Structure 1
Amino acid sequence: MHLEPPVSYVSPPEFVTKMIDAGESKIFMSARDALIRAYMAGAILALAAAFAVTVTVQTGSALVGALLFPVGFCMLYLLGFDLLTGVFTLTPLAWLDKRPGVRLSGVLRNWGLVFIGNFAGALTVAVLMAITFTFAFSVDPNEVGQKIGTIGTGRTVGYAEHGAAGMLTLFVRAVLCNWMVSTGVVAAMMSNSVSGKVIGMWMPILVFFYMGFEHSVVNMFLFPSGLMLGGDFTFGDYLLWNELPTVVGNLVGGVTFVGLTLYATHNRTKTPHALQREPGDPVGAS
């Protein structure tokens, strides 16, 4: 008997249904699971950021660091962990689609749990990496640690020096960031093979990192770490001139340019027979 090989590419109407299914599953996830998955996602992405900065410093090439950074995003997605940027895009679709039992309060609950988990995971890695960069705070930070401190200063005080124009620039960079990052989340749903998922994720994540866009979870590592490593800014600077505007910009970018556009054109206009979920996609991942 001849068996047809599995089709790797998933069509847009099919992967949009996967997006809605994934959003629904996150809303009904237990607090325990949401926190664990978010904690691990924040930690893995933080390690990838530390890795990318290390590569950039040691090679002198920001492009090489950006080319390698997506390894962290691919790992956390394939392991079924959740980033705030991903749930910003996916969970509202289940509410918009009027899935049974899905309420706005459930969407907001998921966002809150994922924010807490991501921050805890990223902060854990920030402490561990600060220890490695300073021999347990017994010496000055090494070259990589100094670079992280500089990043934190430039992307808080650097924005503040420009006032409202700096705030607008920060917000726009956050919007552009989650346009790309959420495209990476969706791209992983376009294929049923691991290699296809990885290739799909790699491209937009490379774009976001190399362009210096603002990612709320990456920044949960860079800025607390920068404070530990001598960065010339305060925790208040970090919240006001980076993290909080970045969270809002990430939300707007993911919902507007990815979630709603795909939903509007591929879900609202689908044919009745078009959508069946394919096996092999980790619905809990983002």
Structure 2
Amino acid sequence: MAYLAPTDFVTKMIDAGEAKIFMSTRDTLVRAYMAGAILALAAAFAITVTVQTGNPLAGAILFPVGFCLLYLLGFDLLTGVFTLCPLALIDKRPGVTLGGVLRNWTLVFFGNFAGALTVAVMMAIIFTTGFTEAPNVVGEKIGTIGEGRTVGYAAHGWAGMLTLFVRAVLCNWMVSTGVVGAMLSTSVSGKVIAMWMPIMLFFYMGFEHSIVNMYLFPSGLMLGGDFSFMDYLLWNELPTVLGNLVGGLAFVGLTLYSTHIRPGAARNTPARGIVTSPAE
């Protein structure tokens, strides 16, 4: 499981951000769509495991399978490009502009949303047998999640919004660490192990991930959750996107870049004295 030195994998992060900014619109949307769909399936899988076993840790341990698959296949999540693309701008790569970064973020957002929404519709059909009966126990759980993480935050006012934002910051601190994990090794097993750990942590801790929420909340609305689409946007998705941006860029992208690509000057150390023997 060959390990890359920090200067090498941070350079790979910058290269990846640059490549994503110059990617065609079609490829950006296709890769974002598939990433959103695969992560949504993983979320449905993890919630099913949690409900059936009664053990949230079991769901958290298994959820990263989706994250690992989508990154091994070269697909893109908004949380990842939040961290990678700005590095190419900061590094002053030729042709990279703020407009190019924002274009990438916009395309990936809508691609992720479309993929997650597709899976939300498909899973809602399964949970309700084609909308002909009440949701099963897993569907009921998803509706409850949607209520608690929208109107539940709103009930606390600005304290709820602060809690939501901090959970989103912590989420992408871990998720972007997982994105970097895919670059730490040149072997599949090494990549998977490095990605698995922080993703398991974020899911078990209940942090807020904007793409997972693109599945959970539209799905919750289809399954009878007692909240509105505006509740979802104002009291979850939009603050989560902002928190994910801050968490990934501030705690992962900029920290790694500043210390491995643009490190501070080394301190002067005192010269070591040379000890000679009496015979000399």
Q: Same fold judged by TM-score > 0.5?
A: yes
Corresponding residue pairs, total: 265
- Give the counterpart letter for 2:72 in structure 1: L
Matched, 1:103 2:106: no
Q: Deviation digits for residues 198-222 of structure 1, max 9, x if unmatched?
A: 0000000000000000000000000
Who is 1:73 aligned against?
67
Matched, 1:257 2:251: yes
TM-score, normalization: structure 1?
0.92
- Give the counterpart letter for 2:245 in structure 1: L
User: In the alignment, is the contact (CA less than 8 A) between 1:13 and 1:270 conserved in 2?
Assistant: no
- Give the counterpart letter for 1:256 in structure 2: A
Superposed CA RMSD in Å reads 1.0
Tell me, in whole angstroms, the C-alpha distance in 1 between the residues paired with 2:5 and 2:209: 28
TM-aligned CA deviation for residue 153 of structure 1: 0.3
- Give the counterpart letter for 2:229 in structure 1: F
Tell me, in whole angstroms, the C-alpha distance in 2 between the residues paired with 1:230 and 1:267: 50
Specify which structure has the bigger relative contact order, considering alpha-carbon pairs within 8 angstroms and separated by 6 or more residues.
1
Tell me, in whole angstroms, the C-alpha distance in 1 between the residues paired with 2:160 and 2:53: 30
Who is 1:94 aligned against?
88
Residue 220 of structure 1 is aligned with which of 198, 207, 214?
214
Tell me, in whole angstroms, the C-alpha distance in 1 between the residues paired with 2:78 and 2:119: 17
Tell me, in whole angstroms, the C-alpha distance in 2 between the residues paired with 1:56 and 1:132: 18
Who is 1:113 aligned against?
107
How does 1:115-264 map onto structure 2 within 5 Å?
115-264=109-258
Tell me, in whole angstroms, the C-alpha distance in 2 between the residues paired with 1:11 and 1:238: 41
Who is 1:3 aligned against?
none
- Over the matched positions of the two proteins, sequence identity in percent amounts to 80
Between structure 1 and structure 2, the one with the greater Rg is: 2
- Give the counterpart letter for 2:256 in structure 1: L
SS in 2 for 1:189: coil
Tell me, in whole angstroms, the C-alpha distance in 1 between the residues paired with 2:264 and 2:135: 55
Who is 1:60 aligned against?
54
Q: Deviation digits for residues 157-210 of structure 1, max 9, x if unmatched?
A: 000000000000000000000000000000111100000000000000000000
TM-aligned CA deviation for residue 270 of structure 1: 9.7
TM-score, normalization: structure 2?
0.94
